[in-house]
Amino acid sequence: MKLYNFTPAANALRVEMFLNEKSINLETIQVNVREDELFKEPYKSMNPFNCVPFLELEDGTIITETISICRYIEEKYPDPVLFGSNAKERALIDMWNRRIELDGFLPLLHSVRNKTSFFKGKVIPGTRNEICQSPEIVTRGIEMFKVLLDRIDPHLSKNKFISGDSLSIADITGHFMFNLSKILKIDLVEKYENASRWKLELENRPSNPINNLI
């Protein structure tokens, strides 16, 4: 099994943190996204969505999508469990991961891509075209993040992690949502006592790959 990744990218780091939590070392090929390597062979045929991360299995099968890759790894290396141990846990972790990903991580990812000049001509992940950056998308992403924080802050007053007492994939998604909020210089997190406590807890985990980038 080989992982194709580019360490500074948000989704690549999500998989790295997941692997670190499980203490797994996978053979990893760094694909330089900044030099457009995803649009060159052999990568463009391996993943026509032109994004990292992607996983190549022994039989040549390619799995893309961060969460799908993590699910596959979870089945191969179940310890520690990060997607839940029974039907109820699995459903709740999936619920939280979707809430965090759809209502916070992705809106902020689009805010960053629509704001930072680095992403001009590449506003949609894995594309190079003339689609223009839109200030409305920047604003909407931040508004959606605030709505999510309003909703999760009270929940986090009663829960150490987003889905209870143990870390899960949903927390890893949350960690990278906060990392995007830092790029956008959103300091409103300080207004949310419980979310701030959760954010700090995730930052301080030894598995946090961002600590190794600094």
Ligand X SMILES: N[C@@H](CCC(=O)N[C@@H](CS)C(=O)NCC(=O)O)C(=O)O
Q: How far is the CB of 193 from ligand X (least distance, A)?
A: 30
Query: From residue 167, how far is each of 30, 170, 174 by CA, in Å?
Result: 27, 8, 11
Closer CB to ligand X, 1 or 196, in the complex:
1
Closer CB to ligand X, 34 or 158, in the complex:
34
The DSSP code for 7 is T
Dihedrals φ, ψ of 116, to 5°? Answer: -75, 135
Chain centre distance of CA 123: 17
Q: How far is the CB of 197 from ligand X (least distance, A)?
A: 27
Kindly tell me the burial class for residue 159, based on how many C-beta atoms sit within 10 Å of its own C-beta (0-12, 13-18, 19 or more).
Answer: middle
Closer CB to ligand X, 12 or 162, in the complex:
12
Closer CB to ligand X, 92 or 183, in the complex:
183
Q: How far is the CB of 71 from ligand X (least distance, A)?
A: 12
Report the candidate in 2, 4, 13 with the shortest Cα–Cα distance to residue 175: 13
Give me the residues that bind ligand X (CB under 6 A), please: 9-11, 33, 38, 51-53, 65-66, 122, 125-126
Q: How far is the CB of 112 from ligand X (least distance, A)?
A: 10
